[in-house]
Amino acid sequence: MAHDDAAVVKMADLFYPEPATWGLRGDPYVWAALREHLSGKDIPTSLDEVVALLHSAFGELVGLDLVTEPASSVYREQYAHGGMSGGRVDLDAWRQRLFPLLTERARMLLVA
């Protein structure tokens, strides 16, 4: 039983390695904030729960619902660390690449 406890996967494990490309300059900071925010949480047992947890955390950290927000990007001061697009979060990149990447990583862990 102790062996099973040691094998518990944390949500933060989904965030390694980082993607090779981002949408806008704020995206890596959102990625890091999500990883930190979810670092102590065990990965749920179903993919739907993982996705719900990711979306909930994103909503808390970025201040919007990624599913219902129509904008393609938003500015968030806390993720502004310089550059022309500093603080801009590419919502389309999160919808089309980053969340699917995290979801696929979770799926692979859950079937393993």
Return the axis-axis angle of helices 47-62 and 99-111, rounded to nearest 10°. 150
The answer to whether residue 5 sits within a structural domain is no
Position 23 confidence tier, pLDDT thresholds 50, 70, 90: very high
Domain of residue 60 covers 10-111
- Pair of tokens at residue 77: 């001061």
How far apart (Å, rounded) are the C-alpha atoms in residues 10 and 43? Answer: 5
Crossing angle of helices 47-62 and 27-37, in 10° steps, is 120
Please name the amino acid found at residue 83. G
pLDDT tens-digit readout, 49-91: 999 999 999 999 999 999 999 999 999 999 998 877 789 999 9
Residues 110, 2: Cα–Cα separation, whole Å? 20
- pTM, to two decimals: 0.90
Token pair listed for 53: 């947890």
Asked if residue 36 is part of any domain, the answer here is yes
The Cα–Cα gap between 89 and 74 comes to: 5
Evaluate whether residue 3 is within a structural domain. Answer: no
Evaluate whether residue 2 is within a structural domain.
Answer: no
Does 28 map to a domain?
A: yes
Q: What is the predicted pLDDT for the residue at 86?
A: 86
103: which residues sit within 8 A by CB, 6+ positions away?
A: 47, 50, 51, 54
